[in-house]
Structure 1
Amino acid sequence: MTDAVIVAARRTPTGKRNGVLSGVHPADLSAHVLEDLVKTAGVDPALVEDVIWGTVSQTGEQTGDIARTAALSAGFPETVTGVTVDRQCGSSQQAVHFAAAGIIAGQYDIVIAGGVESMSRVPMGSSSQGANPYGERFMARYDGVKPNQGIGAEMIGEQWGFTRTQVDELAIESHARAAAATDSGAFESQIAPVETEHGRISADEGIRRGGTVEGLAKLSTVFKEDGIVTAGNSSQISDGSAALLMMSDAKAKELGLTPIARVHTAVLAGSDPVIMLTGPIPATQKALARSGLSVDDIGVFEVNEAFATVPLAWQHEIGADWAKVNPNGGAIAMGHPLGGSGARLMTTMVHHMQANGIRYGLQTMCEGGGQANATILELL
C-alpha cells in the first residue's frame, strides 16, 4: 500500500497579538513558509499539486481561499491549486489528514498541508460578525446553551477536580520547557525566520521566563468568578503559519528524497459540544485502538494546550508519561494561531522525533463543536 510521508516541515515563529508579526498580511506569512518549505526540501514548486491550508476566521484578509492566494504569493506556478479548510483549532491537522488520504488514494503525488492565522489582523470570532451561528434546533437540543470554550475549560476543571494551583503549575512548566527548547537550539531546524519592520524574527515571542505559580495566582479568572481559568493558564492569541511537504513514498524515492516520517494512523472523534474540549480523549483512544499500539509505545505526545485543563484531563484519562507530553512546551507558552496550530504542533513533533530517534509520536487537539483529530506518525 502507498504510504503518505513527510519530507519537510517548517514553521514561522509565533508572534503575540499585535506583536512582531502583526504587520505581515496572513497571505504573505503563509507564502513565506511555503517558499521556505520547498527551498528546504529542494523540490520544484511546480511539482506540488495542491496546497491544503487550515484557517479558522475566513473573513477579511483571510478570505478568498487564502490557500490559493498564498501559493501564488509564494511564486508557485499558476498550476498549483489551493483549498482552505476549517475544522476550528484542528484545521491544519485536518489538512494533513486530507493530504494523507489523497496521497494514499492516488489522487496526489505531492501536496503541501498547513495553515495560518493572523489573530492580530483578523480577530477571533470576526467571521461570524456578531451573528448567532446556532439555529433553533441546535439550541433546543442543548437546552439553549451556547458553547463557550472558556466555560468548557472551567467545566473540565470541575468534572476532574483540578485546582488553580495545578493549572498554574502546568502553565509555568509550559513556559519553562519552551524556553529550554529555545535555548538548546531545538527549534532552529524548524523555524523559517521572518523579516519584518521589527527586524529578523527567529524565535517565538510569547515565551515568558522566570514566572512563578505565586505570580500567576494574582491573575483574575476570566470566565467564572470562582473558577480557575485565567489568561496565564490559557493559550496565547497569536500570529503564525506552518506547513508540511507530503508525498507518496514512491515519489520520494523517485526524487531521491529521504522521508522523515509517515502518517501511520489518522482519526477523528466527536464529543459533547458544550463542554467542547474533551474530544482529544476519545480521539487518542481511537487512534491507539486502530493502530494496534499502546500508550507506552508512543515516545512523544503533542496535546494542544488550548487551556491547561485540557491536557490535564487528557493525561488523567490516557495515563501517558507526563515527561513525554509537550516536551518542548505548548500553546500556553508558544501561542495558538488557530488555523496554523495543528501544523505547528506536527512540525515541532516530527523534528523532535527525528532529533531524538523516537519511533512513534501522537498529536491531538480539541476543536470547536466538540471534535478532535488524532494523528500517529512513525519515524522513517
Structure 2
Amino acid sequence: MPDEPVIVAARRTPIGTRSRVFAELRAEELAGPVIRAALADAGSATGSTLAVADVVLGNCMGPGGNLARVAALAAGLGVTVPGATVDRQCGSGLAAVLDAVSAIRAGDDRPRIAGGVESASTAPTRSADGVPYDRAPFTPAGWPDPDMAQAAEDLARADAITRERQDAHAARSHRRAGAARDAGRFDAELVPLRGAVADDSIGVAEPLLARLRPLFPGGTVTAGTATRISDGAAAVAVVPHRLRGRAAGLVVRGHAVVGCDPALPGTGAAPAVLAALASAGVELGEVAAVEIVEAFASQSLGVLGRIGLEDDDPRVCADGGALALGHPWGASGAVGIVRLFSRLVRAGAPAGTLGVAGASVGGGMGIAAVVEVLR
C-alpha cells in the first residue's frame, strides 16, 4: 500500500457526562488539546515536523459556524491552517476522518488532523418562531422522525430484544470498560483535561440495571441501557505514505455511508458495515476488532444480529463501548477509530490485522470503515 494515507496517531479526551467534569468547557477547549496531542504523537512517530494542511472535525450540536477552524486556532496551529466542520450526526467524527483520508488519497498529499468534538454541556438553546427545540428534524414532514430513545424502544420491539438481553449487554460493556481502565489500556490514548484522567460513567449504571424503570410504559429500554449524553473530543493524524517513516498505523481499506429506514435509525450501522467490508473485499470473519457506537443496548444488539454476530462476541467493543464510556455525539465515530488504534496498533497486532468501526445515524443512515494495521 505505498500510496495510501496512514493514521499514525490517535488521541481522545476522557468522556464526561453532560454537566459534570467538563461542564464549563466549550467545544474548542475540548478539541484543542487532543489536536495538539495527536500532532505531537505523529511528529514523534514519523520523525518529522508535520505541516498540517487542514483540520476536519465532526460536530452536531455546537454553536454553529466553522468549529474546526476555531479549534485549529485554539490548538495553536497558526493562522494558515484552515478547518472544515462535518455534521453527519452520530457518524460525524468518523465521516471527518474519512474526509481527511479521501483528500490525501485524491492527490493533496499533505498531513491532516481529523476527528470530532461535542460539548453537550455548552450546546446552545435553539428555537424556531420563539419555540425552543432540542434538535433539528432528521426527516421532512410526513416521514418518521422518532426521538432516539423511542427509536431504540421501537427497534427492541421489532426485533423482540428482551429487557434481560439489554441489561446483560449494558453490564458487559461496563465490565469490559472497567477491566480496560484498571489494566491501563486507555492510558496511552487519553489526554487528561481539567483534572479528569478517566471516563466518568464507567460502572455507574451497572449495579442499578435490574431496578431501573422502563423509559416508556410497557417498554424495555431504561436509562441504564441508554448511553450517557456526554462531552468529549477525539482526533487522529493522517499522513501521506511518503511521510510515514517507520511509524506504524492504520490504513483505511474500505468504507461506506448508507441510508436505512428513518423509523429504525439504529439499524444503519449494519448495512454500512456490510458495504464497507464489501468495499474492502474482506469477510467479517477476517476482522479482529470491531467498534460499534453503542447508543442504546437494543440498537447495538439490533446491529450485531443483522451482521451475524453474537451478543457477547469478544471482538466487539472489547474494552467497553458508549454504554459505559459515554456518547459525545459528534466525536463518537472518531472515538471508535482511536479505540481501534489502541486495540491494534498500540497493542502490537501484526501487519495486516483488520478492524471495523461503525455508527448508526439519526434520520436513517449508517457509516463504517474497515482499517488494516500497517507496520
TM exceeding 0.5: yes
Could you tell me the TM-score, scaled by structure 1's length?
A: 0.90
Alpha-carbon distance in structure 2 between the residues aligned to 1:149 and 1:317: 19
CA contact (8 A) 1:365 1:372 kept: yes
Note if 1:58 corresponds to 2:58: no
Q: Which residue of structure 1 lines up, in the alignment, with residue 331 of structure 2?
A: 340
Report how far residue 257 of structure 1 moved. 4.7
Residues 203-249 of structure 1: per-residue CA shift (max 9 Å, x gap): 1111116934xx31221222x21111111001111110000000111
CA contact (8 A) 1:57 1:126 kept: no
CA contact (8 A) 1:276 1:370 kept: yes
Structure-to-structure mapping, 1:166-205, within 5 angstroms:
166-194=165-193, 196=194, 200-205=195-200
CA contact (8 A) 1:91 1:342 kept: yes
Q: Calculate percent identity across the aligned residue pairs.
A: 36
Could you tell me the TM-score, scaled by structure 2's length?
A: 0.91
Q: Sort the Cα spacing of 1:335 and 1:78 in 2 relative to 1 into closer, same or farther, 3 A.
A: same
Alpha-carbon distance in structure 1 between the residues aligned to 2:127 and 2:36: 28
Secondary structure in 1 aligned to 2:203?
Answer: coil
Note if 1:305 corresponds to 2:309: no
Alignment length (residue pairs): 362
Q: Which residue of structure 2 lines up, in the alignment, with residue 247 of structure 1?
A: 239
Q: Sort the Cα spacing of 1:326 and 1:126 in 2 relative to 1 into closer, same or farther, 3 A.
A: farther
Q: Which residue of structure 1 lines up, in the alignment, with residue 364 of structure 2?
A: 370
Residues 55-80 of structure 1: per-residue CA shift (max 9 Å, x gap): 00132xxx231111111111111110
Alpha-carbon distance in structure 1 between the residues aligned to 2:210 and 2:365: 31
Q: Sort the Cα spacing of 1:173 and 1:126 in 2 relative to 1 into closer, same or farther, 3 A.
A: farther
The residue type equivalent to 1:279 in the other structure is G
Note if 1:217 corresponds to 2:210: yes
CA contact (8 A) 2:13 2:190 kept: yes
Q: Which residue of structure 2 lines up, in the alignment, with residue 316 of structure 1?
A: 305
Alpha-carbon distance in structure 2 between the residues aligned to 1:29 and 1:259: 26
Alpha-carbon distance in structure 1 between the residues aligned to 2:204 and 2:222: 18
Structure-to-structure mapping, 1:25-40, within 5 angstroms:
25-40=26-41
Q: Sort the Cα spacing of 1:240 and 1:284 in 2 relative to 1 into closer, same or farther, 3 A.
A: same
The residue type equivalent to 2:322 in the other structure is A
Q: Which residue of structure 1 lines up, in the alignment, with residue 349 of structure 2?
A: 357
Report how far residue 99 of structure 1 moved. 0.7
Note if 1:89 corresponds to 2:82: no
Structure-to-structure mapping, 1:136-285, within 5 angstroms:
138-140=140-142, 142=143, 145-194=144-193, 196=194, 200-208=195-203, 211-212=206-207, 215-222=208-215, 224-252=216-244, 256-285=245-274
Note if 1:327 corresponds to 2:328: no
Superposition misfits of 4+ residues, deviation over 6 angstroms:
43-46
The residue type equivalent to 2:175 in the other structure is A
Kindly report the root-mean-square deviation, in angstroms, between the aligned alpha carbons of the 2 structures. Answer: 2.1
Alpha-carbon distance in structure 1 between the residues aligned to 2:158 and 2:95: 28
Q: Which runs of 5+ in 1 are unaligned?
A: none
Alpha-carbon distance in structure 1 between the residues aligned to 2:170 and 2:12: 23
Q: Sort the Cα spacing of 1:42 and 1:21 in 2 relative to 1 into closer, same or farther, 3 A.
A: same
